[in-house]
């Protein structure tokens, strides 16, 4: 999905593991006018708030006890947040609220969102861009998308 355009009326999701910004293009593909539909921010909890105790241990048959690897709670929260975002896209596609969407997120988050989309939502995805623009202001996001089109990356 390298060559895509953000048409008038299309949604744009700008996300990462903690931030999601749903935008609507009131402009056209050549002159974007992105406006906020919805913004979500996941709280960043401390590890001690997310986990319970030290990692567990298990005994292999006839061998010594081994430690179980620590759970990466922040990664699990990012995956959960990506699932929530995909659910929002799924509902918008199923309800006819959204006809087209372009998803902009870091590669890992993009993959998590992609695997949770329904076939109807997948059909609405007109482009993907694996970049982290979640903390950028709207004018910078519009410029980044415009540069993407100009270079035909």
Residue 145 lies in a domain: yes
Q: Which two tokens stand for residue 72?
A: 């990466």
pLDDT recorded at residue 153: 45
d(CA 87, CA 92): 9
Q: Which residues contact 100 (CB under 8 A, 6 or more apart)?
A: 7, 9, 10, 11, 124, 125, 126
How far, in Å, CA of 70 to CA of 80, rounded? 18
Is residue 66, in this structure, part of any structural domain at all?
no
25 secondary structure, DSSP code: E
pLDDT (tens digit per residue) in 67-125: 656 655 566 777 888 999 999 999 999 999 999 999 999 999 999 999 999 999 999 99
Residue-wise pLDDT for 27-62, tens only, equals: 988 899 999 999 998 876 555 555 555 555 555 666
Q: How many domains does the chain have?
A: 1
**CATH number for the domain that contains residue 135:** 3.30.420.60
Indicate whether 56 belongs to any domain: no
The domain in which residue 128 lies consists of: 11-44+73-151
Residue whose C-alpha is closest to residue 10's, from 98, 115, 72: 98
The whole-angstrom separation of Cα 125 and Cα 119 is 10
């Amino acid at each position: 999905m390298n060559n895509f355009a953000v048409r008038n009326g299309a949604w744009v999701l700008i996300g990462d593991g903690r931030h999601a910004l749903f935008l609507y293009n009131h402009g056209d593909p050549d002159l974007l006018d992105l406006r906020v539909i919805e913004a979500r921010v996941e709280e960043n909890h401390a590890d001690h708030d997310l986990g319970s105790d030290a990692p567990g241990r298990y005994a292999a048959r006839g061998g010594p006890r081994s430690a179980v690897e620590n759970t990466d709670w922040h990664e699990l929260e990012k995956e959960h947040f990506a699932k929530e975002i995909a659910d929002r896209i799924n509902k918008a596609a199923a309800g006819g609220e959204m006809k087209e969407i372009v998803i902009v997120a870091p590669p890992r988050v993009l993959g998590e969102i992609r695997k949770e989309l329904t076939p109807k939502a997948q059909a609405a995805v007109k482009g993907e861009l694996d970049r982290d623009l979640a903390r950028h202001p709207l004018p910078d996001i519009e410029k980044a998308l415009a540069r993407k089109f100009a270079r035909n990356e």
